[in-house]
Structure 1
Amino acid sequence: MLHESVFRTTDLPVDVRFEAWTERMGRTHAPMRLTSDRVADYHAHQRVIELGDVVVWSATFDHLVFRRTPRLIRQSDPESYHLSLLIEGEGAADWGRHRAAYRIEDFHTNSSSRSYEIVTGPDPVTLVAVELPRALVAVPGHRADQVVGRRVSGREGTGALLAQFLRRLVSDTASYRPSDGPRLGTVATDLVSAVFGHAVDADVALPPETRERTLALHAKAFIGRHLADPDLTPASVAAAHHVSRSYLYRLFQAEGLTVAAYIRERRLANARRDLTDPRLRGLPVHAIGARWGFPRAAEFTRAFRAAYGHPPSVLRAPSPPPDVG
């Protein structure tokens, strides 16, 4: 069997889960600053398969914002390429001069030598990834670096070949011997080189909807970071992203949402989670509402009742109603 390791945050005490996940991700790719609106009880699972100099890993994790800064690069740079195939969820990345949004079966490409910000959606993300030294990729460095930041399809061509290899590998490793690891690493390296080579030769432009999808996801991440601010409004979100309110509304309408409704739903969901958290039992109901952007208790109660059919105080009763879960 190949050399593998498995990590689950649920194996750890709640208060150290996110810190442990941050450390784990730093070892998997490169040191990063991670933030999330799920820090209080973070859920993540990762399986790492070592193939000599190449590492393949699969993971499912809650909402996350990855930041690799110039300072972190100066402190530690393993000089590696990263490609991850999105299986479930959504994500977007920002390298300063350009952005990319990802659909299911898209590859995200990255380099430990570049600064970036990656944002996942509010729902858990599942992906399978490969990490390999830049020196192993059989494409000149200056050309291979042109692929970093591109959205590569895993549904066709060389991308599909790499996707099939990674998915097959993580689905079952029982039939492989430890000596197969370096050989499989060579196969992975050849496929990554083929993907990079095809990308620099094709130089295909991204579809026109990419900017809209990326901007919508970044707006959602901004909302998630500022839910506690009672002054968070559609207008403030639009201003932070240098777009008009009408343009922002169109982005959310494409997903059947309004900006205000999305903000309200996220606030109420977080408040509901805190109301059922035994560790916050001593925090008054109105304080939890204020914690998530409802400074007036009556407003919090009305919004909560409209969303869930009962007032927030019911969740603090000895026996909550059977429909609460």
Structure 2
Amino acid sequence: MIGTAFRTEDVPVGDRFEYWRQLMSRTIAPSDMSSDYAADFWAEQRLIELGPVRVWPTALRPTRFRRNARMVRQSDPEEYHLTLVLGGGLGLDHVGRSDTYGPHDLWLTDTSRPYDVQSCDVRPSAAGDLPYITGVGVDFPKTLLPLSPDRVRELLGKRLSGREGTGALLTGFLTGLDRQSGFLQPSDAPRLGMVLVDLLAAWLAQALEAEAALSPETHRRVTVTRIRAFIRQNLHDPELRPPVIAVAHHISLSYLHRLFQEDGSGETVAAWIRGQRLAGARRDLANPAMHTTPVHTVAARWGIRSASDFTRAFRTAYGISPTEYRFQARSEGE
């Protein structure tokens, strides 16, 4: 597991907002935080440290973050901050630009310049629940980007989309990182941090039409990340094979194999596909909601047509048959 979790519910009501403020001041560049819900504040956050990169998925009551010129002079970590909005709405005033952001919008800010972030267009649900914002924050040193500060400045405060292209790949990586944090190990953190920085660099370079500024290694790692995302999205297709993947990404089959050989995982493309399918099927077999779904149907859901092939591969990977694993998982869950 990587990351540490925080919930205001674990803190006495009267201390929640102040505790949250102190936590955030240690996570991000110092700013003045205020909320109309401070008297009964609610927030949940996971802080995931990937080397010099910090990722913090969060859900919280509407809060205002103001970083003024005095705070910049007093403390500047020389970082960029990325915000991915997942739920609710936020407004940003930064470097002379003002805009509003909704689900799957992204923006970039510079800790060396003042900013003002506040909730907007946030309404209680139909059930009468109090409103809240969800999203992911990312903080990373400016020196990690292979792009000049002058070029990056062109994008500060702009509303950028996380719905297509590299923006969608970046969004998927950040949300997937939160979902999988319980299964990841501390030893995974440096590699994941490098992948995230590469994605950030590729995304910003694409927005600036400055892909030539990226190193061949960054291009390679982003390509591998894009291919892995494509594979995960198409595992249900039994026709998903290396030649299909190569054609979909406009690369030769030999180059596809070379990318995986150089990625350090030690797995071939076919082996990685098989491993992802088996891992997905194992999750389904352990899912109580699917305990009546036949094993061969579970296999087919993950692109494995032959029940006997599935049983053989599952036993090889996990030392137990799919049926035995399902029974074992149900027994442990009772």
Under a length normalisation based on structure 2, what TM-score does the superposition of the two structures give?
0.58
Matches within 5 A, 1:143-182: 143-182=151-190
Asked whether 1:94 is paired with 2:102, we answer no
Which digits, 9 at most, give the CA deviation of each residue in 1:47-84, with x for residues without a partner?
A: 01111111111000001111001111111111111112
- The amino acid across from 2:15 in the alignment is V
Asked whether 1:55 is paired with 2:54, we answer yes
Residue 96 of structure 1 and its aligned partner are, at CA, apart by 5.8
- The amino acid across from 2:134 in the alignment is T
Which digits, 9 at most, give the CA deviation of each residue in 1:230-287, with x for residues without a partner?
A: xxxxxxxxxxxxxxxxxxxxxxxxxxxxxxxxxxxxxxxxxxxxxxxxxxxxxxxxxx
State the alpha-carbon separation in 2 of the partners of residues 96 and 163 from structure 1.
24
SS in 1 for 2:44: strand
Residue 85 of structure 1 and its aligned partner are, at CA, apart by 1.2
In the alignment, what sits opposite 1:252? none
- The amino acid across from 2:30 in the alignment is P
Residue 86 of structure 1 and its aligned partner are, at CA, apart by 0.9
Aligned CA distance change for structure 1 residues 167 and 199 (closer, same or farther; 3 Å):
same
Match of residue 138, structure 2, among 115, 130, 134: 130
- The amino acid across from 1:172 in the alignment is Q
Q: Is the 8 A contact 1:5 1:47 kept in 2?
A: yes
Asked whether 1:119 is paired with 2:97, we answer no
Q: Is the 8 A contact 1:95 1:116 kept in 2?
A: yes
In the alignment, structure 2 segments of 5+ residues that lack a partner are 123-130, 211-334
Match of residue 142, structure 1, among 143, 150, 154: 150
Under a length normalisation based on structure 1, what TM-score does the superposition of the two structures give?
0.60
State the alpha-carbon separation in 1 of the partners of residues 16 and 153 from structure 2.
34
Q: Is the 8 A contact 2:98 2:157 kept in 1?
A: yes
Q: Is the 8 A contact 1:49 1:55 kept in 2?
A: yes
State the alpha-carbon separation in 2 of the partners of residues 5 and 76 from structure 1.
25
State the alpha-carbon separation in 2 of the partners of residues 13 and 27 from structure 1.
20
State the alpha-carbon separation in 2 of the partners of residues 199 and 100 from structure 1.
18
SS in 1 for 2:177: helix
State the alpha-carbon separation in 2 of the partners of residues 88 and 25 from structure 1.
20
In the alignment, what sits opposite 2:270? none
- The amino acid across from 2:100 in the alignment is A
Residue 174 of structure 1 and its aligned partner are, at CA, apart by 3.6
The higher-RCO structure (CA 8 Å, 6+ apart) is 1
Residue 175 of structure 1 and its aligned partner are, at CA, apart by 3.5
State the alpha-carbon separation in 2 of the partners of residues 153 and 173 from structure 1.
25
Q: Is the 8 A contact 2:46 2:58 kept in 1?
A: yes
State the alpha-carbon separation in 2 of the partners of residues 19 and 162 from structure 1.
32
State the alpha-carbon separation in 1 of the partners of residues 191 and 71 from structure 2.
32
In the alignment, what sits opposite 1:71? 70
Name the % identity: 42
State the alpha-carbon separation in 1 of the partners of residues 59 and 6 from structure 2.
11
Matches within 5 A, 1:247-258: none
Which digits, 9 at most, give the CA deviation of each residue in 1:112-148, with x for residues without a partner?
A: 1110111113420000122111110111111112211
In the alignment, what sits opposite 1:23? 22
- The amino acid across from 1:200 in the alignment is L
Q: Is the 8 A contact 2:8 2:16 kept in 1?
A: yes
Residue 17 of structure 1 and its aligned partner are, at CA, apart by 1.0
State the alpha-carbon separation in 2 of the partners of residues 16 and 152 from structure 1.
36
State the alpha-carbon separation in 1 of the partners of residues 139 and 46 from structure 2.
13
SS in 1 for 2:106: strand
Q: Is the 8 A contact 1:57 1:128 kept in 2?
A: yes
State the alpha-carbon separation in 2 of the partners of residues 178 and 25 from structure 1.
22
State the alpha-carbon separation in 1 of the partners of residues 50 and 161 from structure 2.
24
In the alignment, structure 1 segments of 5+ residues that lack a partner are 203-325
Aligned-pair Cα RMSD in Å: 1.4
State the alpha-carbon separation in 2 of the partners of residues 176 and 12 from structure 1.
27
Q: Is the 8 A contact 1:83 1:109 kept in 2?
A: yes
Q: Is the 8 A contact 2:166 2:202 kept in 1?
A: yes
Q: Which moved more, 1:93-102 or 1:127-136?
A: 93-102
In the alignment, what sits opposite 2:103? 104
State the alpha-carbon separation in 2 of the partners of residues 175 and 36 from structure 1.
34
Q: Is the 8 A contact 1:22 1:32 kept in 2?
A: no
SS in 2 for 1:179: helix
Q: Is the 8 A contact 2:95 2:113 kept in 1?
A: no
- The amino acid across from 1:73 in the alignment is V
Matches within 5 A, 1:183-194: 183-194=191-202
Q: Is the 8 A contact 2:42 2:61 kept in 1?
A: yes
Q: Is the 8 A contact 1:14 1:41 kept in 2?
A: yes
Q: Is the 8 A contact 1:62 1:124 kept in 2?
A: yes
State the alpha-carbon separation in 1 of the partners of residues 183 and 95 from structure 2.
44
